[in-house]
Amino acid sequence: MSETTVTPPETRNKLTGGGSAGRAGDKIFSGLTLAAGILIFVVLAVVSLFLVLEALPAMTAAPDQITSHQSFWSYVAPLVVGTLIASAIALVVATPIAIGVALFISHYAPARISRTVGYVVDLLAAIPSVVYGAWGYLVFGPALVPGYKWLHENLGFIPVFGQPSATGRTLLTASLVLSVMILPIITAQCREIFIQTPSLHQEAALALGATKWDMIRAAVFPFARNGIISAIMLGLGRALGETMAVTLVLSAGALTPNLIGVGNNTIPAEIALNFPEAFGMRQSELIAAGLILFVITLLVNMLARWIVSRYSEFSGAN
């Protein structure tokens, strides 16, 4: 310590000494964490690059080089359509029921059972897809056969209810299994949001003499709209990429409007069925199909984000 009041630069400031080892620890650790983040960056870049490189031969190949002797695009188009139809049906069936169940848990069920039910729904969301597939293949599909027969006999003039399958292994069955699968996922997400609705808003509505349903419409739904949309998109993403349930349930075939008969296929099921034995051009075709699936799910995610950000300022969720 010197007696001067102004510290000239380059004097021995006692505070500068020591601690370099500790500082190195900080640098090393922060570098390590950053490296992990960049690794994710690299992995994803490699995934995309790899998919594109492996897919290119199939996408640019002449029709006679493709296994099914048609251009790649006419090979993959029916698969895309099948994937979209299955996911769309699953979504249309599951969404209203899921919202209903979520409302049941958050607002209608007696307090004692709502906790248990919510917990059970969480557990159901964790059941592996192969189990859903097995159930659809051996239990649910056969159980639907009489229904399909009835539909064909009474509504057969609509193309979607054509010649029914005898085993029930149809695209409609697969879609319904998918909807059972995504039901707990959408329910769990919606319930979270519904429960978070500020009780202040709800009590305000009730104090105005609203019935329970009025209150839900006035306070819960506006608050939860974004959450519901992202829950639906999450379910859609899951349905689009779901492989085993469809592979097991569907007796795959060419694209047909008949949803209750043999036929149709989805991208994930096509890959799972054929990839283990595929090599060369066939492998490239399947990877190209996988790339298209990846792009579709990516678009769905982006769309969800866009919708959510677009409406976020009106949601009242702030």
Partner 1 sequence: MSTTTETSQQSPRPQRSAASGNTLKAGQLPSWSRAATLAGSLAVSAVIFLVAGWNWVPVLLVAALLFLVAHSAWTFAVEGRRHGQDAFWGTVVWMAFLLALIPLVSIVWTVVANGAPTLVRPGFLTHDMAGVTGVQDRLAQRGGDLAGGIQHALVGSLLITLAATVISVPIGLLTSIWLVEYSRGSWLSRTITFLVDVMTGIPSIVAGLFAAGIMMVFFEWQSGGISGGRQTMGITAAIALSVLMIPVVVRTTEEMLRVVPNELREASYALGIRKWRTIFKVVIPTAISGIASGVTLAIARVIGETAPILVTAGVATGTNWNLFHGWMMTLPVYIYRQLVNPTAPAAPDPSTARAWGAALVLIIVVMGLNLLARVIARRFAPKTLGR
Partner 2 sequence: MSKRIQAKDVNVYYGDFLAVEGVNIEIEPRTVTAFIGPSGCGKTTFLRTINRMHEVIPGAHVKGEVLLDNDNIYESGVDPVNVRGLVGMVFQRPNPFPTMSIRDNVLAGYKINGRRLSSRAADELVEKSLTGANLWKEVKDRLDQPGSGLSGGQQQRLCIARTIAVEPEVILMDEPCSALDPISTLAIEDLIEELKEQYTVVIVTHNMQQAARVSDRTGFFNIAGTGKPGHLIEYDDTEKIFSNPSNKQTEDYVSGRFG
Q: How many residues bind partner 1 (CB under 8 A)?
A: 98
| Tokens (6 digits) for 175 | 């879609």
List 1, 209, 313, 318, residue binding partner 1 (CB under 8 A) = 209
- 160 interface partner picked from partner 1, partner 2, none, CB below 5 to 8 A per type: none
* Span 81-120, contacts to partner 1 by CB under 8 A: 96-101, 103-104, 107-109, 117, 120
Rounded to the nearest 5 degrees, what angle is found at the Cα of 253, between the Cα atoms of 168 and 80? 105
Query: 198 φ, ψ to 5°?
Result: -55, 130
Tell me: does residue 224 bind partner 1 (CB under 8 A): no
List 52, 92, 131, 254, residue binding partner 1 (CB under 8 A) = 131
Look up tokens 């060369």; give the residue: 280
Angstrom distance (rounded) from CA 241 to CA 308: 22
List 60, 68, 199, 211, residue binding partner 1 (CB under 8 A) = 211
- 249 interface partner picked from partner 2, partner 1, none, CB below 5 to 8 A per type: none
Sequence-ordered list of residues with C-beta below 8 angstroms from that of 61, at least 6 positions apart, any chain: 72, 281, 284
Nearest approach in angstroms of CB 64 to partner 1 is 25
| Tokens (6 digits) for 247 | 């592979």
List 30, 74, 116, 309, residue binding partner 1 (CB under 8 A) = 30
Closest CB to partner 1 among residues 11, 282: 282
Query: 138 φ, ψ to 5°?
Result: -100, -25
Nearest approach in angstroms of CB 25 to partner 2 is 9
* Span 58-77, contacts to partner 1 by CB under 8 A: none
Tell me: does residue 9 bind partner 2 (CB under 8 A): yes
* Span 235-274, contacts to partner 1 by CB under 8 A: 237, 240-244, 247-248, 268, 271-272
> Chain centroid to CA 157: how far?
34
Q: What length is written for the chain? A: 318
| Tokens (6 digits) for 87 | 């996911």
Angstrom distance (rounded) from CA 254 to CA 270: 11
Angstrom distance (rounded) from CA 123 to CA 131: 13
* Span 10-39, contacts to partner 2 by CB under 8 A: 13-16, 18-19, 22-23
- 4 interface partner picked from partner 2, partner 1, none, CB below 5 to 8 A per type: partner 2
Angstrom distance (rounded) from CA 241 to CA 237: 6
Tell me: does residue 10 bind partner 1 (CB under 8 A): no
Q: Where are the alpha helices (DSSP H) in the chain?
A: 20-60, 72-103, 111-125, 129-135, 141-155, 171-196, 199-207, 212-215, 221-241, 244-249, 267-274, 280-311
- 184 interface partner picked from partner 2, partner 1, none, CB below 5 to 8 A per type: partner 1
Q: Which stretch binds partner 1 (CB under 8 A): 58-66, 71-79, 122-130, 154-162?
A: 122-130
Residues at the contact surface with partner 2, assessed by CB under 8 A: 1-2, 4-5, 7, 9, 13-16, 18-19, 22-23
